[in-house]
Structure 1
Amino acid sequence: MSFNIKKISFITLPIVLGVFLIWYSLSKLTDNDILSIKTSFKTANYWWVALSLFFGVLSHLSRAYRWQFLLEPLGYKPRFANSIMAVLIAYLLNLVIPRSGEVARAASIKKYEKIPFKKAFGTIVAERVADVIMLLFITGIAFFLQTELLASYLFKDDKESTLISKVFFFIVLPVIGYFTYTVLKKSKNSFLLKIFSFINGLMDGVKSIKRMEKKWQFIFHTVFIWTMYVLMFYTTTFALPETTNLPFAAIIVGFVVGGFSMALTNGGLGTYPVFVASALILYHVDDNPARAFGWIMWTAQTLMVIVFGGISFLLIPIYNKYQK
């Protein structure tokens, strides 16, 4: 019974949180705010949004192709079409049930390419490790740029204080991290052991990539995928006049904040627009255009996943029946 409650909570709580955040953010808007946001939606240049979706499609194609580099050493070479459709189905299901997409992706490739589920799922986990590393790397860049912004607010562009902030983030924190790792390694606490296990998993993933036959191709596609993600965010800023001239720091910080918001609710439901808007407001974008940008960005990404994921869900059995 307790297992069922945990399972139901795991599925429903992110959706409830997302719906609540949507209601809460809308309830705080005045009539003028709502009118301003509607105007932004009506006057937005959707050609830029379409270009951002093109970059999104390229990232999905690259992700499906990158998967081949992990499956080939195991003796499998699935058809590229099946890899693409499995990836898109995974994105679609993640909108409904958190982390269900990874299971569905491995199940799809097992059914249509006869690749054992455990082996397919293992390659997906290795992919996720590479993606976590990329996200952490981009987050590091965001912190590097954000320290300058914070220093300008707190210390009135004091260069010495900015330098101290950077030394703290990029020298002191890594040293603290190293000593924390050694403490976790010797700890017997179950919670701390889980953290240590997660860190070890990341390190094992890095080692497996290093041993990969086509590691440079894998690394190239990993960097390419995340570059496309950033370009999706960047090109959408040109859709609204208020966000057209954002500095590079704002792009990176907004992207990172939006990326982490995706982990809180299904596909960033309710969280993505709020978090991204709060990041852009730091860079002197007015509240309502910032909110409009967040909603345009989230809506475009979600519709892309629903459309392409839905088509893939319907098409994959037909395609494989024809192949047989």
Structure 2
Amino acid sequence: MSKKIKKTVLLILPIALGVFLIWYSLSKLSPQDVESITNSFKTANYWWVALSLLFGVLSHLSRAYRWHFMLEPMGYKPRYANSVMAVLIAYLLNLLIPRSGEVARAASIKKYEKIPFEKAFGTIVAERVADVIMLFGIIAIAFFLQSELISGYLFKDDGESSIYTKVIMFGVLPIIGFFTYRYFKKSTNPYIAKIISFIKGLLEGLTSILTMRRKWEFIFHTFFIWVMYILMMYVVTFSLPETSNLSLGAVVVCFVVGALSMALTNGGLGTYPVFVASALVLYKIDNNAALAFGWIMWTAQTIMVILFGSLSLVLLPFYNKFIGNKIS
């Protein structure tokens, strides 16, 4: 298979998977189910959805501000507006082509702030390291908070099995992981070498973050961004009567499931609503209400990204032309 064909397949496959999942999930619904989901959309309290979008905007603004902490040690102080619009453009392009947003973000800041592409891209990769670590941490929290539900679901048992689940998750698995890492480290297998390289990259990225001059501000904004992400989902639970009594622990589990689904298709197309709904069903939420919640969340987030990303694409050159004329 040629590289061109391989790239085309990799671009088309996630979109095709998303479209298939949308068709498949809808094809299983009866007319009554469709009517129930439609009624949920009609009766939802969209003030909570609007608040969710506000939290989303705050997370994007914080991400753009956090970026400066990595650029400043190299002597670059980009205009905040340019950083914000570059971040929003990145989110928009990631909906179309996975991972293209990071390249576009670095290219945008290079064009309008004269920051070398490789340096800008390097800071974005380091940022991603912090985000991956945060996601792993939230996954661990989700398992810890909801171990009873997860153990009951996996082992069809009651509360006593949750103790064993915690012992396995936080005692046995780290030990297994340590010895597995030692074995991998000595292995000459090329695939294992890539895994080791990825882990080393995470550790190096974490070290660089901990040694930067404004590390506490960077860490604060990293936590702030992910708290905003979780709050985006939490407040939308109040928009539907069926989900309004969900605990924060349940929301964290749904958030993790939704976040992981984003890796399968462009922006979670088709996967996000289905995966989030499957998690909600574990909490005795009616399947139709669960699907409605997943679709409301995904639709609101996607519209926000498309709207602000498109505006940024249009406004970025005009803003810099205006600033250039003002300076000259």
> Which secondary structure does the structure 2 equivalent of 1:298 belong to?
helix
Indicate whether 1:40 and 2:45 are aligned: no
Q: How many residues align?
A: 322
- Say whether the 8 Å CA contact 2:143–2:150 is kept in structure 1: no
TM-score by length of 1: 0.98
Give 1:319 deviation, angstroms. 0.3
CA shift for structure 1 position 151: 3.6
Shift of 1:278: 0.2
Cα separation, 2, equivalents of 1:315 and 1:10 = 31
Supply the AA of the counterpart residue of 1:167. V
- The superposition leaves residues 164-197 of structure 1 with CA deviations (integer Å, 9 ceiling, x where unpaired) of 2101001111111111111111111011111111
- 2:158 matched to which residue of 1? 156
Cα-Cα RMSD: 0.9
Aligned 1:210-225 pairs, distance under 5 A: 210-225=210-225
Are the equivalent residues in 1 in contact too, given 2:144–2:166 (CA < 8 A)? yes
**Residues 114-125 of structure 1: pairs in structure 2 closer than 5 A:** 114-125=114-125
Correspondence 1:299 to 2:291: no
TM-score normalised by length of structure 2: 0.97
SS of aligned partner of 2:194: helix
Which residue number corresponds to residue 314 of structure 2?
Answer: 314
Check whether the contact 2:89–2:313 (CA below 8 A) recurs between aligned residues: yes
Match of 2:67 in 1: 67
Alpha-carbon separation, structure 1, partners of 2:158 and 2:132: 34
The code of the aligned residue for 1:64 comes to: A
Please show how residues 182-201 of structure 1 align to structure 2 within 5 Å: 182-201=182-201
Q: 1: CA distance between counterparts of 2:158 and 2:120?
A: 53
Residue 270 of structure 2: aligned partner: 270
Alpha-carbon separation, structure 2, partners of 1:61 and 1:96: 22
The corresponding residue for 1:255 is: 255
After TM superposition, give the deviation of residue 145 of structure 1 in Å.
2.3
- Compute the displacement of 1:152 (Å): 4.4
Name the counterpart of 2:87. Answer: 87
Q: How far apart are residue 19 of structure 1 and its match?
A: 0.3
> 2: distance between equivalents of 1:73 and 1:279?
43
In the alignment, the residues of structure 1 paired with residue 164 and residue 38 of structure 2 have an alpha-carbon distance, to the nearest angstrom, of: 44
Aligned-residue offset at 1:150: 3.0
Q: Report what 2:100 is aligned to.
A: 100
Once the two structures are TM-superposed, the CA of residue 113 in structure 1 deviates from its matched residue by 0.2
In structure 1, the partner of 2:289 is 289
Q: Structure 1 CA distance, aligned partners of 2:55 and 2:149?
A: 29
Contact persistence 2:36–2:288 (CA under 8 A)? yes
The alpha carbon displacement at 1:146 in A equals: 2.9
Q: Distance in 1 between matches of 2:212 and 2:182?
A: 28
- Aligned partners of 2:148 and 2:158 also within 8 Å: no
How far does residue 155 in structure 1 lie from its aligned partner after superposition? 2.4
Instruction: Give the fraction of aligned pairs with identical amino acids, expressed as a percent.
Output: 70
**Secondary structure, aligned partner of 2:96:** coil
Residue 4 of structure 1 corresponds to 4
For the residue of structure 1 that corresponds to 2:146, the secondary structure is helix
1:134 alignment partner in structure 2: 134
Stretch of structure 1 that moved more, 147-156 or 311-320: 147-156
* SS at 1:245 equivalent: coil
Aligned counterparts of 2:233 and 2:91: Cα–Cα separation in 1: 18
